Structure 1
Amino acid sequence: MTDVSISDAGKHLTLTIGGNSHRFHAIWLRDNAADAETRSPGNGQRLIALRDIDPYTRITKAKVSSGSLLVKFSPEDKTVAYDLGWLLDNSYDRPSMTEPGWLDPGKETWTAQLNDQVPSADFEAVRRGASVKRGWLASLARYGFAKLTGGPVENLALMQVVDLFGYVRETNYGRHFEVRTEVNPTNLAFTGLGLQAHTDNPYRDPVPTVQVLYCLESSAAGGENMVVDGFAAALRLKGENPDWFRVLSRYCARFEYAGEKGVVLRSRKPMIELAPDGELIAVRFNNRSAAAINDVPFEEMELYYQAYRRLGEIIDDPAMEVTFRLEPGECFIVDNTRVLHARKAYSGTGTRWLQGCYADKDGLLSTLAALQADLPEAAE
């Protein structure tokens, strides 16, 4: 049963479908009209600004017909059709999220239990098959990381991986960087030391949102890669002590990198970042790049350090980590705003050569959305 009624002298209407009611304001409906005079048929972009819509726009008539809601507006005397499915997908008349730390339902947290089902796909299958690529990118978006196997063992093969979904983000390290032992390294990542799980480059604003690490040689003992779900760690911290979660999300940490001539990178961001409505959107954790924290009030600093220490302990907990060894031609991709990565120490004998680069999620999510639009029957 579908019904529609107009209320408040035309300021809003109520659409009832299957017993569920959804209210929409007249100004919102007019602003989101999809007719050819309001939006470009070619690209969907708006052709008018809000200033072009009368602030006293009202609904004078509304009815449901053939899967659409027909709405007539005054003072324009204009009738616009809205797809019912689109209206339900974009309904804003729902309970608001009030609990800090809520997650987008498209994201799934994980712990070491994911070791038995690491999201992975074959490079050639992803390159040649749109449905395989769609599934692989959907897993990457859901879990925040994924592997590729069976790739070419050749210099700069990682660029072919980025080409699958987006564009390289160049930094002071160049379009890519080498990860192998160096004499007098500019960064601890270029030694055989083990590294605590961390997000990369927290000293940048904006931070690179995707990282690719591609293996070309792997005969040295050790050096296994580990990943930790920063969202799962943050929510575990919150479950143990909400005040710890509060201080790490309320106050900014500071990060800095000045490891090479002519480069001084600094940022000021919280370790746990929330959107204004409380959604958990990012985690930054990198002890090597942490600068002096001076944005926390004296009265909260002791609590802040308790929370900082405990978050590190949770991240270090083997129960939180997924571990795998990369072989030549394999790589993994991480959402650098969510998933921390680490490396176990490796020996000085044999060889270990990885290449890395950065990209951004806008390209990845755009590619995924386009594939889901082209393959709606397979969309999650």
Structure 2
Amino acid sequence: MSEPTVSLQDAGAVLCLDDLRFHAVWLRDNALDPDTRDPRNGQRLITLSDIPEDVTISDAHTQAGQLHCTFQPEDKTVSFPLAWLRAHAYDHPHKDRPGRLPDQAEQWDATLSSNVPTGHLPTLQSDPIERRDWLAHIRRYGFAKVTGLQPESGALFGIVDLFGYVRETNYGRHFEVRTEVHPTNLAYTGLGLQAHTDNPYRDPVPTLQVLACLENSAAGGENMVVDGFAAARRLQSEDPHGFDLLTRHCARFAYEGSAGVALRSRRPMIELSPDGTLQAIRFNARSAAPLTDVPFDYMAAYYGAYRRLSRIIDDPSMEVTFKLAPGEAFIVDNTRVLHARKGYSGEGHRWLQGCYADKDGLLSTLNALEAAL
């Protein structure tokens, strides 16, 4: 295979590698030598202030799959694997488009009901390939089911142990979901619940939620999940101005349901990154506080978009429905997937346990498994 073409532009301020361009300051900042990065953990040993402002490249050539650059005024030569440079190239069209999905995410609707991603806990614990694939389903769809739990208190922690740590809140390390006489939260009643994201009144919200079934002999009480990103994109296609309003103006959420707790947050219902990528959905009518960040002239249109999003979320064509049996559980990306429950009767028993965790641990475990396997 022939060596790539290398040239310098702008007096050495830019390097061209075939059709890819790299700034000298970017290459120097990302140097892989042991004086710049710790060879054991990859962390930088220098700051940007340690790099001369007038950094340029005086010489560059390739040999045996490596690019060798000499930086001035340091007169420092550094080598980069060509494959590494191509994998980290930034000289390409960037996808600045409001409402685009995150990389490796796929939107879905009720048609996924026939193929709900599911893992068997004992297998997930013993087989790293199965664990990798199950975690990849969560990254792709934002939720997955688990079977094979022991239907006993605390068994749900075994799911979190697959990738990370429990996030404790004012509800405790875990919480019980069953009927109470004087509930501190409507989740502890037999009422049906609209699809929602949990704890929008926290900042940051818990990014993962696990719900495990210990007992479920009551009539009704099926669980439902809705892809919040798909709902947001549908709103965008039906009402672009309304979508824009829900992304540009903050909603407010609050919870003061127990002594000593007064949680409040101010965030958009639909959150985008600067390049327009969908970042998070916050939707929970039970915890909505008065809107005070929407200008008067936009309030009526904002409520119109809010109502339309609510109807989209309630549309049966958007929801995947299943009824958990004892020993089954599901996990949701709480920044993306809304979950709901149909109402259930007072006959029989329904007992679920829930806990929160954080998505960074899940993605870290997945990245490590993908690299290792």
Task: Indicate whether the TM-score tops 0.5.
Answer: yes
In structure 1, C-alpha distance between the alignment counterparts of 2:303 and 2:212, rounded to whole Å: 35
Measured in 2, the distance between the counterparts of 1:296 and 1:66 equals 59
Q: Where do 1:237-276 residues align within 5 Å?
A: 237-276=235-274
Compute the TM-score of the two structures, normalised by the length of structure 1: 0.96
Residue of structure 1 aligned with 2:213, choices 215, 220, 238: 215
SS of equivalent residue, structure 1 residue 157? coil
Show CA shifts across 1:37-72 (max 9, x none): 100011000011111111111011112221221111
- State the shift of 1:105 in Å: 2.6
Counterpart amino acid of residue 291 in structure 2: I
**Structure 1 match to 2:12:** 10
1:143 alignment counterpart = 141
Query: TM-score of the superposition, structure 2-length normalised?
Result: 0.98
Deviation at 1:101, TM superposition (A): 1.2
Looking at structure 2, the residues matched to 332 and 64 of structure 1 have their Cα atoms a distance apart, in angstroms, of: 51
Q: In the alignment, which of 283, 290, 295 is matched to residue 293 of structure 2?
A: 295
Q: Deviation per CA, 1:200-219: give whole Å up to 9, x if none.
A: 00000000000000111011
Q: Secondary structure at the match of 1:127?
A: helix
The separation in 1 between residues aligned to 2:327 and 2:79, in whole angstroms, is 52
Extract unaligned runs of 5+ from structure 2. none
Query: How far apart are residue 97 of structure 1 and its match?
Result: 2.2
- Runs of 4+ displaced beyond 4 Å: none
Equivalent residue, structure 2, for 1:378: none
What are the within-5 Å matches in structure 2 for residues 150-299 of structure 1? 150-299=148-297
Q: Which residue of 2 aligns with 1:316?
A: 314
1:346 maps to a residue whose letter is Y
CA distance in 2 between counterparts of 1:88 and 1:109 reads 29
Per the TM alignment, residue 5 of structure 1 is displaced from its structure 2 partner at its CA by 1.1
- Residue 4 of structure 1 deviates from its aligned partner by 1.5
**Which consecutive residues of structure 1, in runs of 5 or more, have no partner in the other structure?**
376-380
Identity in percent: 64
Shift of 1:96: 2.2
Distance 1:94 1:299 in 2: 40
Rounded to whole Å, the distance in 1 between the matches of 2:27 and 2:218 is 62
Output the CA distance in 2 between the equivalents of 1:4 and 1:315.
Answer: 53
Residue type at the aligned position of 2:6: V
Q: Which amino acid aligns with 2:196?
A: H
Deviation at 1:135, TM superposition (A): 0.4
Distance 1:370 1:98 in 2: 29
Count the aligned residue pairs.
Answer: 371
- Secondary structure in 1 aligned to 2:348? coil
Aligned partner of residue 64 in structure 1, secondary structure: strand
**Could you tell me which residue of structure 1 aligns to residue 323 of structure 2?**
325
Bigger shift: residues 66-75 or 123-132: 66-75
Aligned counterpart, 1:339: 337
The match for 1:130 is 128
Candidates 102, 105, 111, aligned match of 1:104: 102
Q: State the secondary structure of the residue aligned to 2:355.
A: strand
Structure 1 residue 103: deviation in Å?
1.6
Secondary structure at the counterpart of residue 342 of structure 1: strand
SS of aligned partner of 1:106: coil
Specify the SS of the correspondent of 1:309: helix
Alpha-carbon distance between aligned partners in 2 of 1:315 and 1:265, rounded to the nearest angstrom: 25
Q: What amino acid is aligned across from residue 139 of structure 2 in structure 1?
A: A
- Stretch deviating more after TM superposition (87-96 or 187-196): 87-96
- SS across alignment from 2:5: strand
Once the two structures are TM-superposed, the CA of residue 100 in structure 1 deviates from its matched residue by 1.0
Cα shift at 1:294: 0.8
Give per-residue Cα distances to partners, 1:9-45, cap 9 Å, x unaligned: 00011111xxxx1111000000001111100011000
RMSD: 0.8
Aligned with residue 61 of structure 1, among 59, 74, 79 = 59
- The 1-side partners of 2:92 and 2:325 are apart by 48
1:90 aligned to 2:88? yes
- In structure 1, C-alpha distance between the alignment counterparts of 2:87 and 2:312, rounded to whole Å: 37
For the residue of structure 2 that corresponds to 1:354, the secondary structure is strand
SS state at 2:33 partner: coil
State whether structure 2 residue 113 is matched by structure 1 residue 115: yes
